[in-house]
Amino acid sequence: MTFSSLSNDIFQKSTNDYHITDHVDAEMHNPYELKTIEYYLYLKNWIDAVQWHLEDIIRDPNIDPVEALAIKRRIDSSNQDRTDLVELIDSYFLEKFKAVEMAEDASINTESPAWAIDRLSILALKIYHMQKEVERTDTTPEHHAQCEKKLAVLLEQRVDLSTAIDQLLADMGSGSKYMKVYKQMKMYNDPALNPVLYAKK
């Protein structure tokens, strides 16, 4: 099984599991062994699923401002968790390929494997929700047709992205590509780097 196939299977399972309750406060029951790559992939998609729905909730035009602020801060925290997890997954690849001898003309990719896998996780959610739109019976024929076209594009995008991820990993395994991980450069969560926060000290 390719890594993209493994990821897609786990992302689909996590997405389906989340929607059993379809609630942002639902308890996650990760079926995979703790600290395995499968565990981290499932966790990654679960975090993405919760954040997807928080983003929906906060766009309610009638939301209470106090509730909106609490959700915004929860989304900020979720973004930090997502970044932490992506870097953890990249650490898995760094370890996996650490003994590979790089070719003299080896090149670096525009993004690390885990950031590409991050996009694959989001695609799983887009596909799930677009499929639900296609299945609705309370919409116009125009809406249905538009959603069918969008779903087809998303499914094609998943094939293309999966192929690109597997090719990148194959290239890294052969030494024709290498990866770097640039640790977090986010500034807004850091009290030492966000001027609004350090000005209050």
pLDDT digits 0-9 by tens, 32-41: 999 999 999 9
Q: How many CB atoms lie within 10 A of CB 20?
A: 9
| pLDDT exceeds cutoff 90 at 131 | yes
**pTM to 2 decimals?**
0.91
Q: What are phi and psi of 61, to 5 degrees?
A: -65, -15
Q: Which residue in 49, 53, 56, 154 sits closest to 146, CA to CA?
A: 154
Q: Which residue in 100, 54, 96 sits closest to 77, CA to CA?
A: 54
Residue 31 gets which letter from DSSP?
-
Alpha-carbon distance of 152 to 158, in angstroms, equals 10
CA atoms within 13 A on the CB side of 20: 11
Q: What are phi and psi of 178, to 5 degrees?
A: -135, 165
Measured over the CA atoms of residue 19, residue 78, residue 115 and residue 119, the dihedral's sign is positive
Domain ranges in the chain are 3-191
Q: Which residue in 18, 87, 16 sits closest to 54, CA to CA?
A: 18
pLDDT digits 0-9 by tens, 43-99: 999 999 999 999 999 999 999 999 999 999 999 999 999 999 999 999 999 999 999
